[in-house]
Structures are given as C-alpha cells and as structure tokens.
Amino acid sequence: MSGSAVLDADGPRGYALLNHPLFLKATAGLVLLCLWEGVVRWLAPPYVARPSGIAQVILGVLGNAEFLSAAGATLSAVALGLFISLITGTLIGFLMGRIMLLEQGLRYYVNSLFATPMVAIMPLLTLWFGYNTDARLAAVVFAGFFSVTVNACEGARSAPLECLEVAHSFRARPWSTLFDVIFPSSLPYLIAGVRLAAGRARVAAVVAEFFISIPGLGYYILYNSRTFHHNEAFVAVIVLVAAGVGFEAFTRWLTRRYFPWHRPR
C-alpha cells in the first residue's frame, strides 16, 4: 500500500502521478460516480437514488432528529449486542478451548449454529421475543456470539505450549495462566472474531428492523424506499457503511496501539 515505493520506482517521470495509489483511487471513484449518475439519468425514473440527489439531501437527513434517533437505535443495539457477544462468547469459547470435555460436547452445536444464517431464524426470534427491540438485540447477539465463541475457542486451544510450560515451571495457578498466557495469546483470534461479528451484527440489526418494523436505520431504509425517497434511504446505507469502516479502523488502531507484539512490523 505504500505510495512512496511506487513513486521511487524508476520509470518515465510522467507516470509518477498516474501511479500514485491515491490518484488512482480518486479517479476510479469519480468515474464510478459519473457512471452511476449517467446511467440513472439516462435509464431510471427520477426517484431512483443518484449521487447528485444524495448530495442534495445528505446534510438535511444527517441533521434530521428522526434519522438521528433511528441511527442511534440501530448502532447502539449493534454495540450492545456486540458487547454481550464479546463477553459471553469469550467466556464460553475459552472454557471450550481449555476443557476438552466441554469442547467435545459442544463443538458440533456451536459450529452448526455458527453456520446457521441469522435471516433464517428471524421469524423464530420474533415468536420468542415478540415484535420489539428485544428481538433485534437477540438477532444481533445470535449473529455475533458464535463468531466470537468459535474464535475464542480456537485462540485458547492454540496458546503456545512453550509459554504454558514456562507458566507451569514457575508454578502459575490456572487463574493467573488465564491472564498471563491464554488471554493475551488469544487476542488476535478474539479481534478476528469481533471483526467478523461486527459485520454479521450490522446485517442482523438491519434485517431485524425490516422484519419487525421498529425504528432504526433498517426500517428507515425500508420506509423511504417504499415511499420513493431513494436518496434519503441511501444516506442510511452510507451511515451503515461508515460505521463498519469506522469499526475496522478502530480495531486496527487498537491492535497497533495496545498489542504491538501482534504482527510486528
């Protein structure tokens, strides 16, 4: 990804700008936006979302109290669900990873549930929790929990034997080994699990809102699409994407800042 390396490569000087990755990204983005604008203008009815239309409404939508409360509802449900998944998934994953009987007993069920599409069980969740925000939270937790559990289990199982041997030699108690060896060595796995969970959790929240019709970004998108406010709906999509990208950047920063030993250099 390093631009300077490309710039330093010898070659005709005129190509330097063209080879700059930022330049390429910006150009590609601009071309895609123009294509989108052109195709929609040429072929689609006027209410279909297009860049110029989105640009006109975006500030208004972002300042709209109703939209903000919808975004807050969805994103806070995702955050809470992720938090619950992280705590319970880590706990159960670690227990499975370190206790053979538990792992053998639960592995197939956890793996099966991990592979179960959340959308498929949405109707069941509404039966169990009702048509309310609890069902959305349950969907988010269902989507996130198993990703974290599977990864935490894998991480706990792959704690380096050398480190465990050292802990044994220094007469570490199981509790301190958990914090000195198993937890830190599983951190990369946990981070991977949470990143996976975060993506699945956003899908779950949006689908739950489609299904249950409770206020949130998903419902906002559904309502505005059906009332031919496609530009407004698209702003909600952009917010969902931004939340995902923001979370990715946050985990990367967290890793670099607090776990520099993980993937050094």
Partner 1 sequence: MKAPNTPPRIRIAAAGKRYQQHQIFENVDLTVGEREVVAIIGPSGCGKTTLLRCIDGLIPLTQGEILIEGSPMLAPRAGVAMVFQHFGLFPWKTVHDNVAYGLKLSGISKAEINERVPHFVKLVGLSGFEKYYPYQISGGMQQRCGLARALATEPRVLLMDEPFGAVDAQTREILQFELLRIWEDTPTTMVFVTHSIEEAVLMGDRIVVLKGRPSSVHEVVEVDLPRPRDRATLLLPHFAELREHVWGTLMADARQAEFDVIKNN
Position 166 contacts partner 1 (CB under 8 A): yes
* Binding range to partner 1, per CB under 8 A, among 157-165, 220-228, 233-241, 249-257: 157-165
Is the separation of the CB atoms in 93 and 183 below 8 Å? no
Among residues 8 and 162, whose Cβ is nearest to partner 1? 162
* Binding range to partner 1, per CB under 8 A, among 26-34, 110-118, 149-157, 178-186: 178-186
Among residues 24 and 187, whose Cβ is nearest to partner 1? 187
Among residues 33 and 172, whose Cβ is nearest to partner 1? 172
Position 42 contacts partner 1 (CB under 8 A): no
* Binding range to partner 1, per CB under 8 A, among 58-66, 74-82, 169-177, 222-230: 169-177
Q: How far is the CB of 42 from partner 1 (least distance, A)?
A: 56
* Binding range to partner 1, per CB under 8 A, among 20-28, 124-132, 167-175, 204-212: 167-175
Position 192 contacts partner 1 (CB under 8 A): no
Position 168 contacts partner 1 (CB under 8 A): yes
Please give, one letter per residue, the 3-state secondary structure of the chain: CCHHHHHHCCCCCCHHHHHCHHHHHHHHHHHHHHHHHHHHHHHCCCCCCCHHHHHHHHHHHHCCHHHHHHHHHHHHHHHHHHHHHHHHHHHHHHHHHHCHHHHHHHHHHHHHHHHCCHHHHHHHHHHHHCCCHHHHHHHHHHHHHHHHHHHHHHHHHCCCHHHHHHHHHCCCCHHHHHHHHHHHHHHHHHHHHHHHHHHHHHHHHHHHHHHHCCCCHHHHHHHHHHCCCHHHHHHHHHHHHHHHHHHHHHHHHHHHHHCCCCCCC
Q: How far is the CB of 173 from partner 1 (least distance, A)?
A: 8
Residue of 171, 174, 175, 257 interacting with partner 1 (CB under 8 A):
171
Contact residues for partner 1 (CB under 8 A)? 162-163, 165-166, 168-172, 176, 180-181, 184-185, 187, 259-262, 264
